[in-house]
Amino acid sequence: MNNFFDKLVAYESLVVAFLTLISTLAGIWIKTKLAREKKDRELEDATIKNENILLMLKRLIKTLDADRVYIFEFHNGNYFSSGLPMQKFTCTYEVVEDGISAECHNPGEYRVSNFNEYIMNIIKQRDFIIEDVDNMQEKPLLKNLLIQKGVKSLYNFPIRDIKDKTIGFIGVDFVKENVKLSEENINQLRAAAKLVTGYIAK
């Protein structure tokens, strides 16, 4: 009789172990499937966001008859040996006209400390406008960079999040000739900077 009960207990233990294994594997499969679906959704959402931003930049470049339109975002990249973060700004979106060099990967990332005055102007919600780069009297590092990129006129406008923190800027370059934008065009760029906030601010 004891032998029968021992076998029954062993059988029940085996069934419980088997059911536990099945439920564990099912849980892992469901969790993996949901994680994969979430990543797929996130990727799809990101590509839709990117398309919307690039479409807006393409409209701007046509409307303004510009040569290069772009977005830079601020971030903490790597860390110095002191442990302090390297404050950087990186080109995350760019649209160029035919025959104009794309600069987003050349190098595409800059340290804030090298362009502190320029970035400070943008952070303080100021439009940063240079109608004639050759006549710039200040910011020699920035002037040299712009000349290397072939920029003759520059228009930058801050992008701010819902907490009123500057998270980047939208910019327009004119390479072929110096251009003085109208106040209407400048207001369009300010509006575009606000619109971008909806896409990139978290």
Domain boundaries, the chain: 55-200
**What's the pLDDT score for residue 40?**
63
Q: Please name the residues in contact with 182: beta carbons below 8 A apart, sequence gap of 6 or more.
A: none
CATH number, domain 55-200:
3.30.450.40
61 versus 164: the higher-pLDDT residue is 61
More confidently predicted of 149 and 79? 149
Q: Which of 40-49, 87-96, 122-131, 159-168 has the lowest mean pLDDT?
A: 40-49
Position 1 pLDDT exceeds 90: no
* Stretch 1-27: mean pLDDT: 70
What letter does residue 150 receive in the DSSP assignment? T
Report how far apart, in Å, the C-alpha atoms of 51 and of each of 167, 184, 196 are: 20, 25, 12
pLDDT, tens only, 71-114: 999 887 655 454 554 588 999 999 999 999 998 887 778 888 88
For residues 37 and 30, is the Cβ–Cβ distance under 8 A? no
Strand order in the sheet with 166-174: 109-111, 85-96, 68-79, 166-174, 153-160, 128-130
The percent of residues above 90 in pLDDT, for the chain, comes to 46
Mean pLDDT computed over 34-46: 71
pLDDT at 17 over 60: yes
* 107 or 182, higher pLDDT: 182
